[in-house]
Amino acid sequence: MAEIPANVILAAEFAERFDGFSIGSNDLTQLTLGVDRESDALAHLFDETDPAVNRSIETLIATARAVGRPVGLCGQRPSDDPAFTRFLVSAALDSISVAPDSFVAVKEHVAAAERA
């Protein structure tokens, strides 16, 4: 699981031991930004589309792809945000894990992003 920035930074070393990566986008965002998403005082700062989070995702995908390892993502954002799904497709993410009730919508978002 790539849920902490250290796992992104050390991805090349981890790729020597693991068959692939799964990005936990909620935790990666929280720990990259230092923001507790459950805090009423800080929740407004929690943003999975923050440039630092996006760069972490892109870096992990590029590192993993360079050594032939797949990368998936689990988190709510692709279910709610077609623009984030487009970003993931453009970054060459291999798979997205979603809740059953959002599967059709996310599949449509992915298909639209792949056509673009």
Model pTM score: 0.92
Q: 3-state DSSP: the chain helix, strand, coil percent, rounded to 5?
A: 60, 10, 30
User: In the predicted model, is pLDDT for residue 75 greater than 90?
Assistant: no
Per-residue pLDDT of 88-115, as tens digits, reads 999 999 999 988 999 999 999 999 999 9
For the chain, give the mean pLDDT.
93
Tell me: the pLDDT tens digits for 20-60? 999 999 999 999 999 988 899 998 999 999 999 999 999 99
DSSP character for 2? Answer: B
